[in-house]
């Protein structure tokens, strides 16, 4: 078995002696959605994959890397994070671990700190967390605004984020801004008007926290519809803390993803299974809040597409580690190791409606992770161990 694309004039590299190559290539899914290839090799030219197959059949290249009998998989695609913020919520976490329940109100603490931060401070934090994630195998990431909640602060967050990723999400509708606490309708008007006008040029997506204590179904619909009219694609924080309209609204509006999906009715599950909207699960949030785990098994058995992401944020999931989330999903959410790895790679790509990442196949972007282990199963089998031994991003080895 081998596959290839037309050669180019770019420098070529073969990574050979791979014990298990996880391709996520649909044409190779005879026994697993991961499309595994044993004793494999992969060829990179420029920033693209041009060949995969058995190691003994690898073509000649300019450079050669010996994987040493270890596993290679696609770079992780973290399709949900909140990395533009300042401040620290250690005290809140400590209190919660001592018995106080989690609600949406803690976001206001981060809003105050973020507004007070300089652009340089916000960008320094962003790049710190991106580097941290890259060392753990994340090669594609989405990040949101949502901790400014004024026109100027939301715009600058997105402007800064857009310097580092194409997957930027406007989340002015995270919570109602403190100065509009007594008039939520006025804040929705601001988000869908002046704030959206300022933010749309810097973003690809629009998101809303459809939840008690944040925005109800009608408000969420208004925000997402306004964003779509400005060319932004919808995604939704849905059904995290309680049952509600978020998931079905996401499917109705053909949102790329409904994120959290902790409290689901049968109708919610059926809607996800019958539409294109990806159910993005964020186990770091449940871990950090001691909340009920999402039931991944229920979604997968119904035929829904599932993504797995970190939700990295300072209040409810302060982790940038996709491997940690893979281990949680296997241990506590009913996923197999194969399903969790697929969801953290190809699933994340689906949640961003991307087909150039999350897989290792000719034509895909050359984003790869080399594990210091013979199998991807070790991500769940050896939780907490720093297994990432190498990372290639756009064809360049960066770790």
Question: How many angstroms separate the CA atoms of 255 and 397, rounded?
Answer: 34
What is the percentage of the chain residues whose pLDDT exceeds 90?
90
The 10s digit of each residue's pLDDT in 201-220 is: 999 999 999 999 999 999 99
The 10s digit of each residue's pLDDT in 74-108 is: 999 999 999 999 999 998 899 889 887 765 558 88
The 10s digit of each residue's pLDDT in 131-179 is: 999 999 999 999 999 999 999 999 999 999 999 999 999 999 999 999 9
Token reading at 250: 């996401």
Quickly state the pLDDT bin for 7 (edges 50, 70, 90): very low
The 10s digit of each residue's pLDDT in 283-337 is: 999 999 999 999 999 999 999 999 999 999 999 999 999 999 999 999 999 999 9
pLDDT of residue 107: 85
Average pLDDT, the chain: 95
Kindly report the number of other CB atoms within 10 A of residue 386's CB atom. 11
Asked if 169 and 145 count as a contact pair (C-beta separation under 8 A), the reply is: yes
Beta bridge partners of 260: 238
Question: How many angstroms separate the CA atoms of 28 and 33, rounded?
Answer: 8
Question: How many angstroms separate the CA atoms of 208 and 355, rounded?
Answer: 25
pLDDT of residue 54: 95
pLDDT of residue 154: 98
Where does the chain show beta strands of DSSP type E? 2-4, 12-22, 36-45, 48-54, 63-74, 76-78, 138-144, 167-173, 205-210, 233-234, 236-238, 257-260, 278-281, 306-308, 368-371, 388-393, 396-397
Residue closest to 373 by CA, chosen among 72, 43, 133 = 72
Question: How many angstroms separate the CA atoms of 22 and 20, rounded?
Answer: 6
Beta strand 167-173 with 205-210 is parallel
List b or e across 32-49, with b for residues whose CB sees 16 or more CB atoms inside 10 angstroms. ebbbbbeebbbbbbeebb
DSSP3 helix / strand / coil % (the chain, rounded to 5): 40, 25, 35
Kindly report the number of other CB atoms within 10 A of residue 249's CB atom. 23
* Angle 27-355-50 from CA coordinates, rounded to 5°: 65
Quickly state the pLDDT bin for 4 (edges 50, 70, 90): low
The 10s digit of each residue's pLDDT in 25-71 is: 988 867 788 999 999 999 999 999 999 999 999 999 999 999 999 99
3-state secondary structure of 235: coil
* Angle 358-363-368 from CA coordinates, rounded to 5°: 40
């Amino acid at each position: 078995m081998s596959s290839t694309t037309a050669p180019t004039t770019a420098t070529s590299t073969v990574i050979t002696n791979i014990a298990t190559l996880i391709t996520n290539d649909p044409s190779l899914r005879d026994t697993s959605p991961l499309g595994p290839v044993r004793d494999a090799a992969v060829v990179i030219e420029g920033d693209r994959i041009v060949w995969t197959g058995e190691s003994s059949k690898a073509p000649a290249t300019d450079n050669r890397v010996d994987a040493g009998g270890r596993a290679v998989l696609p770079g992780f695609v973290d399709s949900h994070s909140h990395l533009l913020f300042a401040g620290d919520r250690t005290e809140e976490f400590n209190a919660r671990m001592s018995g106080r329940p989690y609600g949406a109100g803690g976001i206001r603490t981060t809003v105050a700190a973020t507004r007070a931060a300089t652009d340089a401070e916000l960008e320094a934090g962003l790049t710190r967390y991106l580097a941290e994630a890259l060392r753990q195998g994340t090669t594609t990431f989405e990040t949101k605004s949502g901790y400014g909640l004024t026109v100027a602060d939301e715009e600058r967050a997105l402007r800064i984020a857009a310097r580092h990723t194409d997957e930027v999400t406007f989340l002015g509708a995270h919570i109602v801004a403190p100065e509009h606490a007594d008039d939520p309708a006025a804040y929705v008007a601001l988000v869908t008007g002046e704030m959206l006008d300022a933010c749309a040029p810097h973003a690809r997506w629009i998101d809303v926290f459809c939840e008690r204590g944040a925005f109800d179904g009608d408000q969420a619909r208004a925000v997402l519809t306004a964003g779509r009219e400005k060319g932004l694609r919808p995604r939704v924080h849905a059904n995290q803390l309680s049952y509600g309209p978020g998931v079905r609204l996401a499917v109705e509006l053909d949102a790329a993803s409904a994120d959290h999906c902790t409290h689901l009715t049968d109708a919610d599950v059926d809607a996800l299974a019958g539409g294109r909207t990806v159910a993005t699960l964020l186990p770091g949030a449940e871990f950090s809040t001691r909340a009920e785990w999402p039931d991944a098994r229920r979604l997968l058995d119904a035929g829904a597409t599932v993504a797995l992401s970190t939700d990295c944020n300072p209040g409810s999931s302060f982790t940038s580690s996709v491997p940690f989330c893979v281990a949680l999903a296997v241990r506590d959410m009913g996923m197999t190791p194969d399903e969790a790895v697929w969801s953290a790679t190809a699933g994340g790509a689906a949640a961003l409606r991307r087909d150039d990442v999350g897989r290792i196949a000719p034509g895909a972007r050359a984003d790869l992770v080399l594990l210091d282990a013979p199998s991807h199963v070790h991500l769940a089998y050896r939780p907490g161990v720093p297994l990432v031994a190498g990372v290639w991003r756009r064809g360049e080895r960066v770790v």
